[in-house]
Amino acid sequence: MTIVLKNADDIAKFWTDDRLGRNREALLIESFVKEETRTWEQQGREQSYVLAIDAPYGVGKTFFLDRFRAQLGESHPVAYIDAWVDDANAEPLVAIMAAIEDALKPFINNRNNLGEKVKAVTRAALPIIGKAVVAGGVTALKRHLGADIAELVKIEMDKTTAKAVEDSLGDAADSAKDSVEALIDREAQEMIDAYKRRKSSRKDFKASMAALVAAIGPSATDRFPPLFVVIDELDRCRPDYAIRVLEEIKHFFDVPGVVFVIALHGEQLTKSISAVYGSEFDSQAYLRRFFHRNYSLRQPTSVELVRELLTEAKLANARFTSPRVRNGTVTIEPGDISEFTANFLGDFGITPRELRAAVDMMRVFMTFWVDDRPVELPLLLGLIVHRLRDSHWALKTIKPRGRLQFDQQGLEQALDTNVFTADLLLQAYNNNIGQNLADVKPEHQLSPQGYYVADYLRREMRARNPAGPIIHPKSALLAYEPLVNDIFPFSVEIA
Q: What is the DSSP string of 292-331?
A: SEEEEPPPPPHHHHHHHHHHHTT-TTS-EEEEEEETTEEE
Instruction: Give the CA diameter of the chain.
Output: 103
pLDDT (0 to 100) of residue 339:
83
pLDDT (0 to 100) of residue 316:
79
Strand partners, 260: 50, 229
Task: Give the separation between CA 361 and CA 340, rounded to whole angstroms.
Answer: 17
Quickly count helices (H) and strands (E) in the chain.
20, 8
pLDDT (0 to 100) of residue 181:
60
Domain segments of the chain: what residues?
8-109+220-296, 130-212, 302-491
Multiple choice CATH, 8-109+220-296, 3.30.420.10, 3.30.9.10, 3.20.20.150, 3.40.50.300? 3.40.50.300
CB contact at 8 A, 234 and 24: no
pLDDT (0 to 100) of residue 183:
63
Ranges of beta strands (E only) in 192-304 are: 227-232, 258-264, 293-296
Instruction: Walk along the chain (495 residues) in steps of 10 and give the mean pLDDT of each run.
Output: 53 86 92 90 91 89 93 91 79 88 84 83 79 38 41 45 52 55 62 63 87 73 72 88 91 92 91 85 90 93 88 86 63 70 85 89 92 89 88 52 42 40 82 87 81 88 76 86 89 54
pLDDT (0 to 100) of residue 65:
94
